[in-house]
A = this chain, B = another copy of it.
Amino acid sequence: MLKYKSLYHSLKKEIQQGTFIPGDLLPSENELCDQHQITRTTARKALDELQREGFIERLHGKGSQVRERRKSLGLLNVKGFSEAVGQQVDAIMLQAPDYRGWSDRIQFPVKENEQSASCIHFERLRCVNEEPVMLENNWFASTALPNFCQLGFVDGSFFKTLSQCFFIEIVGSEQEIRAEVASSEVARLLRILPGDPVLHISICFSTSHSSLTIYSELYCNTTQYPIGNSYHL
């Protein structure tokens, strides 16, 4: 594991677990250097990442302060659902992973080297406090992930499974966001009325594995939980 990533994960974990609460100052850059046997350049790279994702605020002359996180679904900068609201979150698998042809519902052009491979697809319904809030479809080429369909999800998280079973990380994403009227199918699953507005997000995730791109299609009921996004420095 790279040194800056290791520190980044370690600090993020401590923030998420409540070791540091909003308002707290993290150890200073020099202290982190001593604790982890790294240089300030490396420590700052980890803190840069935490800042971009909105976990901390850097105060010139003071330190790195843990930020208050709003209760939104926090999805746009983020690699999944797990960094979201501090509430009971779960997922219902509507269509378990299986082999299909490439769907025309994918809003991004599928890369050529992937089109020739077969496509794995799965569909889930995300719930907060047992209320459905997001319908999620994912497509990707089967080549990079042998035996994926036989595996279960680590902690119910697709991205954790990618990381822990295949050592593949998300390194970027491109998204398009629209407000649309719910189709009868989407409305039924999200328990809203056909014609109600839904947030439609198309995402194309690039990963550390060059032949794996993940194409996602999300429909969100934002009545109770808006989608959040933050950006710093």
* A positions within 8 Å CB-CB of B: 52, 54, 70, 72, 76-77, 171-181, 196-200, 202, 206, 220, 222-223, 226-233
Contact = CB atoms under 8 A, between A and B. Distances in A.
A154 B16 CA distance: 43
Top-7 shortest CB links A-B: A197-B197, A172-B232, A179-B179, A179-B197, A176-B226, A178-B222, A179-B199
Given A76-B76, A231-B172, A232-B172, A177 B197 contact: no
Interface-centre pick from A52, A54, A70, A229 (highest chain B CB count, 10 A): A229
A38 B176 CA distance: 37
17 contacts: A172-B231, A173-B231, A174-B230, A174-B231, A175-B228, A175-B230, A176-B226, A177-B222, A177-B226, A177-B228, A177-B229, A178-B223, A179-B198, A180-B222, A199-B199, A202-B226, A229-B229
A171 B76 CA distance: 18
Contacts of A200: 179
A175 B229 CA distance: 5
A182 to B, nearest CB: 9
Identical chains bound together, number? 2
Nearest to A202: B226
Given A177-B177, A179-B198, A179-B222, 7 more contacts: A171-B232, A172-B233, A175-B230, A175-B231, A176-B226, A177-B199, A197-B198
Contacts of A54: 174
A174 B180 CA distance: 23
Nearest to A195: B195
Contact of A76 (B206, B220, B229, B233): B229
Given A172-B230, A176-B228, A230-B175, A181 B197 contact: yes
A18 to B, nearest CB: 21
A123 to B, nearest CB: 20
Contacts of A233: 171-172
A64 to B, nearest CB: 14
A206 B172 CA distance: 24
Nearest to A174: B230
Interface-centre pick from A72, A206, A231 (highest chain B CB count, 10 A): A231
Nearest to A220: B179
